[in-house]
Structure 1
Amino acid sequence: MRFKLFLALTLFCANASAAEPAEDKVELPIPSSSAQRLYSKAKADIVQLRSLLKNGRTQSSVGSGFLIGNSNLAVTNYHVMSQIALEPDIYVGEYVDTYGKRGTVELLAVDVLHDLAVVRIDRKGGGFFNVPDKLPTLVQGQYLYSLGNPLDLGFAISEGAYNGIISRSFYDQLMFTGPINAGMSGGPSVTVDGQVAGVNVSKRLDGELVSFLVPVRYVRDLLKKVAAQKEVPKDFKLVVGKQLQEHQATMMARLEKTPLTFKELKPYRVPVWESDQVRCWGRANGKQSKSYSYDQVSCAMESALYVSNQTQTGHISIEHKLLQSIDLGDLRFAALASRSFQNQSMGGHKDTRYTAPQCTEQFVTNGKLPMRAVLCVRAYRKFPELYDFTLLTASTDSGRMSLQTRVDTSGVTYENGLRLARIFLEQASREVQP
């Protein structure tokens, strides 16, 4: 065994050594002339933005940003500046430009809904990036160039293509078929002639080169607000909280304009919301278990609002699950259904973001289906008047079937949370319509 292990290690080292000359001959792809020209002109006006711990000045998070015109204002993502906005006693901002100059960062404004922020630094831009009232018109397939500091490795430019507006996001985002890596958030994406098309914001982890940009029109609107504001907000938690309330009001208005649709989990009918923002999926256990079958319909919003590294809100998800006995007796099936119903997490009392959940339980009927219902609510500690609601129900009309529903609504007012819970309690039924 020792000889075999030594032989394996020797072969590995030999193969690695043999491969070295070939690696020396590999040439990296040369950037296009357009990318080279753009980077050369733009590099003086892009910066890396860092959140540092005040105590020790150690780096906590990094992103990118870009200076507007000849001003000392830079645009970035809200999520790049979120620690400074929410915990200014703990974090402070710093910028580093492409020449290595460092300086302080002052947060001026945030737009949580579109993930944008404006900061002021102690140097001015060279005039490359501008956001005029008349914005560029993009055509699908058009080349765009994204700039930033990926993975804190150094400033870079990447090429990709514009591929339309994403309808599944609650607010418009542009699809960019090109690489955007961590650290490039907040950097600009520009056309071949240098016009700002959008701001790098995110990418899909389950695909290749599926990235997203905040449209530049939202940057224009935020810069106008900065120009009009008389003083910098003293407490950005109040600003963030107000914007979250605006979002939940918009979310509720859209949901109420979208009629409920019904899915059949025979013999039940279950309510869901399906729209561009809310998608539904189904799955089943395929009756692999000999004792019971399992069918499920799950619906959820495709996006949520980023508040902090630990908190995303302004979201709704719906899950309907039907358990049916195949050869379990009533008592054994009741135990199975009870375990499924009780195996639900509501959060704990030690979470510093929320209060401990308060729950109430009742046996109710809507005239069509008797149910056991549990309603839980918890409040946001930093954002008064915002709550998370969880509604759990289980049908009680059969000893051999259990329809179980969970509806989670995050970041809504108390009144709106109760309204959503009431809608789902009133709509579930057993009869199947032809």
Structure 2
Amino acid sequence: MTVFPRLFSRLLYLALLLLGASGVMAVPTEEVFSRYKDRIVQVRILDVAAGTRVGYGSGFAATQADRIVTNFHVIAPMIHAPDHHRIELQQVDGRSMGAELVGFDAVRDLAVLRPSQPLAGFFPIAEGDPPKGMRLFSFGVPNDLDFTIVEGTYNGLIGNSLYDRIHFTGAINSGMSGGPVIDGDGRIVGVNVATESNSVGFLVPGADVRRLLAQPVKPPSHWRDQLRDQLLAHQEKVMAPLIGRPLPGYDLGRYRLPGRFAQYLRCWADARRRDTEPFQVVSQLCHNEDAIFVSDSLMSGQIRFRHDLLEAPKLDRFRFARLYQRYLETGEADLGGDQDEVGNFVCQQNFVQSRGPKLKAVLCLRGYRRLTGLYDLFLRVASLDRHDEGMVSTLVISGVSYRNAMAFSKHYLEQVQWKR
């Protein structure tokens, strides 16, 4: 009479071990792949004349079988040269089909395609955020090898960002861009977008996918104009609050300089002090990590600035002047872009003195050739009031309107003051 209760208790105990915290049996990874593999594709961008691939990524059917979601950076050649490229989708069983671009959100790195034939199924989009630590599954074609599933965990939204990104602890590799990340019930949590290796990956949230899919299908012409309009709207949203309020200060030696003026900027301090050198340099560097992919050689939306304080009390004024001049001539905007995309920097320099030290300012702008109305900004400011000390501040912003470039440059210069 006692054997059955004991056996029942043991079976119940084993069953509880197999249950997840939610009370649902954990789905084996191989079952997840088998169940959903027909909803994912490899996205290939082909050169029309040569018939060869110029790029590839991953994609998936979302909310309906004839809408394929991928990353904007995967299909970017279709924006810049649509007549020279075409899209091909390859399914897990080897079959291929064509597709057309029907919409994109370059700021959030998403695009929507319409395949020539619907897929066998589609993923719904999850409502709300999963609990931190929840097991997720990422699909894609890493390094053009084969369709792959990667198990990882949800670790919430990353902080200090212009727009939401999910921290996914799992191996996202090149070629998996645009692939889906789902929960055990097959609901979209996010889209593969970037990695910092060591199983640190980033996802576009499913909510951004839902918003893009809710937009009407766009006509297949004037994609470049739509890209320009999206970038102009984005920079206006970013720059308007910065221009409209005083910038926080940062004390460096005798100077009061612009400090971390937005939460999405990350800042570091550094110092170069060596007994073998007759000078020292103390620096602060701040930049954002929300750059927007425009092409393989050009990123927009970058903001960074750097302050350097050079002190050389052991040098005479002539040796310091030579050292200071060499320092001023080093460093560039380093913003990429080829001659078909951007023009040359056009620079003006002037001497400035308001409430702070006497300054030499060099302001440089270059325009985007294909995306008219957008510019890259390079501003360098140097103090001129000491023969044994110098302060150099450098500001770089990519993809900004002319009006905002000039307004923020003036605003930035006004914050260079003496420390009170």
Report the TM-score when normalising by structure 2. Answer: 0.90
**Residues 283-432 of structure 1 mapped to structure 2, 5 A cutoff:** 283-345=270-332, 351-430=339-418, 432=419
Given that residues 70 and 126 in structure 1 are in contact (C-alpha distance below 8 angstroms), is that contact kept between their aligned partners in structure 2?
no
Distance 1:364 1:259 in 2: 19
RMSD: 1.9
Between the two proteins, the alignment pairs up a number of residues equal to 394
The C-alpha deviation readout for 1:292-346, integer Å capped at 9, x for no partner, is 1111111111221111111111121111111111311100100110111122435
Given that residues 41 and 92 in structure 2 are in contact (C-alpha distance below 8 angstroms), is that contact kept between their aligned partners in structure 1?
yes
How far did 1:255 drift? 2.9
Distance 1:127 1:256 in 2: 48
Which segment drifts farther, 159-168 or 348-357? 348-357
Distance 1:413 1:70 in 2: 38
Distance 1:412 1:197 in 2: 32
CA distance 1:276–1:258, shift in 2 (3 Å): farther
How far did 1:137 drift? 3.3
Name the counterpart of 1:3. Answer: none
Given that residues 349 and 357 in structure 1 are in contact (C-alpha distance below 8 angstroms), is that contact kept between their aligned partners in structure 2?
no
Name the counterpart of 2:203. Answer: 213
| 1:280 match: secondary structure | strand
Please tell me whether residue 120 in structure 1 is matched to residue 110 in structure 2. Answer: no
Given that residues 149 and 184 in structure 1 are in contact (C-alpha distance below 8 angstroms), is that contact kept between their aligned partners in structure 2?
yes
Given that residues 147 and 188 in structure 1 are in contact (C-alpha distance below 8 angstroms), is that contact kept between their aligned partners in structure 2?
yes
Please tell me whether residue 156 in structure 1 is matched to residue 156 in structure 2. Answer: no
| 1:285 match: secondary structure | strand
Distance 1:331 1:357 in 2: 31
| 1:384 match: secondary structure | coil
Given that residues 136 and 181 in structure 2 are in contact (C-alpha distance below 8 angstroms), is that contact kept between their aligned partners in structure 1?
yes
**Structure 1 counterpart of 2:195, which letter?**
K
- State the identity %: 35
Distance 1:401 1:355 in 2: 35
Distance 1:273 1:264 in 2: 11
**Residues 271-286 of structure 1 mapped to structure 2, 5 A cutoff:** 271-286=258-273
Name the counterpart of 1:14. Answer: none
Please tell me whether residue 97 in structure 1 is matched to residue 91 in structure 2. Answer: yes
Given that residues 290 and 326 in structure 1 are in contact (C-alpha distance below 8 angstroms), is that contact kept between their aligned partners in structure 2?
no
CA distance 1:117–1:350, shift in 2 (3 Å): closer
Distance 1:305 1:56 in 2: 29
Name the counterpart of 2:73. Answer: 79
Given that residues 349 and 356 in structure 1 are in contact (C-alpha distance below 8 angstroms), is that contact kept between their aligned partners in structure 2?
no
Name the counterpart of 2:127. Answer: 135
CA distance 1:386–1:70, shift in 2 (3 Å): closer
Given that residues 273 and 279 in structure 2 are in contact (C-alpha distance below 8 angstroms), is that contact kept between their aligned partners in structure 1?
no
The C-alpha deviation readout for 1:185-204, integer Å capped at 9, x for no partner, is 11100001111111111111
Which segment drifts farther, 300-309 or 332-341? 300-309
CA distance 1:274–1:287, shift in 2 (3 Å): farther
The C-alpha deviation readout for 1:276-301, integer Å capped at 9, x for no partner, is 31111111112444311111111111
Distance 1:257 1:146 in 2: 42
Distance 2:245 2:170 in 1: 34
Name the counterpart of 2:16. Answer: none
**Structure 1 counterpart of 2:242, which letter?**
L
Give the unaligned 5+ runs of structure 2.
1-25
Distance 1:325 1:100 in 2: 67
| 2:51 match: secondary structure | coil
Alignment match of 2:61 (pick from 58, 67, 70): 67
CA distance 1:349–1:413, shift in 2 (3 Å): closer
Given that residues 243 and 408 in structure 2 are in contact (C-alpha distance below 8 angstroms), is that contact kept between their aligned partners in structure 1?
no
How far did 1:364 drift? 1.3
Distance 2:251 2:128 in 1: 47
Name the counterpart of 2:10. Answer: none
Name the counterpart of 1:195. Answer: 187
Please tell me whether residue 106 in structure 1 is matched to residue 100 in structure 2. Answer: yes
Distance 1:393 1:210 in 2: 37
How far did 1:258 drift? 6.8
Which segment drifts farther, 66-75 or 169-178? 66-75
Please tell me whether residue 39 in structure 1 is matched to residue 38 in structure 2. Answer: no
The C-alpha deviation readout for 1:60-117, integer Å capped at 9, x for no partner, is 1110001235532211110111111221122221111001111212011010111100
Distance 1:373 1:172 in 2: 36
Distance 1:389 1:70 in 2: 43
Name the counterpart of 1:168. Answer: 160
CA distance 1:128–1:367, shift in 2 (3 Å): closer
Which segment drifts farther, 193-202 or 165-174? 165-174
**Structure 1 counterpart of 2:273, which letter?**
G
How far did 1:261 drift? 2.3
Give the unaligned 5+ runs of structure 1.
1-31
How far did 1:349 drift? 11
Alignment match of 2:247 (pick from 256, 260, 271): 260
Name the counterpart of 1:6. Answer: none
| 1:337 match: secondary structure | helix
